[in-house]
Structure 1
Amino acid sequence: MKVITETPRLIIREFTLADAPAVLHFNTPKEVNRYTGDAGVCTTLTDAENIIRNIWLVEYQQYGFGRWAVVVKDTNTVIGFCGFKNETRINAVDIGYRLHPDYWGIGLATEANQACIDYAKKHMDLDTVYADVVDANQGSINVVIKLGMTYHSQYQEGECNVNRYVISLKANKSAKNG
């Protein structure tokens, strides 16, 4: 398994099929999928295996990145995902995350995604990254703002208003070097 980056508390790495029980575990709580639009997509171990095999492993091969496993160093427990997705519906790269609720509210989402942004600035050829957050999801709005993302626009998806945030990785590079 390929380790992408580490933080003081976390290892960010590629998923393997052995992570299927953890993927099922962090997708099962209904509050996890409250704002994602994919409730009910991962309800069995087979569903979790198919997500890993048919989405994440394919994206690693096709793009060199995808959603990565968030692993707590102290326990070696996979608690969710973070990282980038080549989002074909917007023809751009999206950053996102999902963590089991037992790990909410202690800064891990910000820590994991900041590590992804730092990694992208050094190792990936990304100019702009977006994040879409349902406007009622204040926790995730707080995370993207802490990451330095700024409000871009809003659109309607079903019954939800979705805020789009953006960060320019190239501008940050030139600001550091200039």
Structure 2
Amino acid sequence: MTKIITETPRLIIREFCLSDAADVFEFNSNADVIRFVPDDQMRSIEDAEQVIKDIWLTEYKSNGYARWAVEYKATGKVIGFCGFKFETHPAVQANDIGYRLLPEYWGKGLATEAGKACIDYAKHHLQFKEVLGDVDVQNTGSSIVLQKLGFEFQTQVNHDGVLHNRYLLTL
């Protein structure tokens, strides 16, 4: 059985499992969803299976957390992810929050709802002192979500030639 991390009125936040591969492929191959992270685009369900197995399931075991599936309760469909990872990019050496939802779920407060639930979980179950959120400067929607979650702008950083706004939340 898949481990449920937390729930909100509209969402179940849970660990991914291999049977989620088609949904993971759907949101990670959508041009609008990955517009600001084009290197994350998936080209096949096998790519999705590999990310689930080699990254998320591995990080659940080694860290106790990773990106989690965001399941829409009304339909039971995985509509994206939200959660944390320890970012090892040279520009970032910290726990980072990330979220990604299918476009038809944008503008409904779901990213904020999922983010709040994940942050609350981190406050009670993880040993984080702070969480970073790095957002492409052009991704204003994601910056708004971080601000709604209580993150404060810190600085701008260069991620491989792409300027990002860095936000910080102290837990």
What is the TM-score when the length of structure 1 is the normalising length? 0.91
* Partner Cα separation in structure 1 for residue 137 and residue 97 of structure 2: 16
* Partner Cα separation in structure 1 for residue 161 and residue 38 of structure 2: 11
Q: Structure 1, residues 53-108: CA drift from partner, whole Å, max 9, x if none?
A: 00000000110000000000111100000010011222210001011111111110
Aligned equivalent of 2:66: 66
Residue identity matched to 1:124: L
SS class of match (1:31): coil
Tell me, which stretches of 5 or more residues in structure 2 are unaligned? Answer: none
SS class of match (1:56): helix
Residue identity matched to 1:38: D
Q: Of the candidates 135, 138, 141, which is equivalent to residue 137 of structure 2?
A: 135
* Partner Cα separation in structure 1 for residue 65 and residue 122 of structure 2: 10
Aligned equivalent of 1:32: 33
What is the TM-score when the length of structure 2 is the normalising length? 0.95
Shift of 1:9: 0.2
* Partner Cα separation in structure 2 for residue 122 and residue 156 of structure 1: 32
Q: Of the candidates 146, 161, 164, which is equivalent to residue 162 of structure 1?
A: 164
Fraction of identical pairs, as percent: 52
Tell me, which stretches of 5 or more residues in structure 1 are unaligned? Answer: 170-178
* Partner Cα separation in structure 2 for residue 25 and residue 102 of structure 1: 12
Question: Alpha carbons of 1:132 and 1:37: their partners in 2 closer, same or farther (altered >3 Å)?
Answer: farther
SS class of match (1:38): helix
CA RMSD of superposed structures (Å): 1.0
Aligned equivalent of 1:174: none
Aligned equivalent of 1:18: 19
Residue identity matched to 2:36: Y
* Partner Cα separation in structure 2 for residue 36 and residue 168 of structure 1: 25
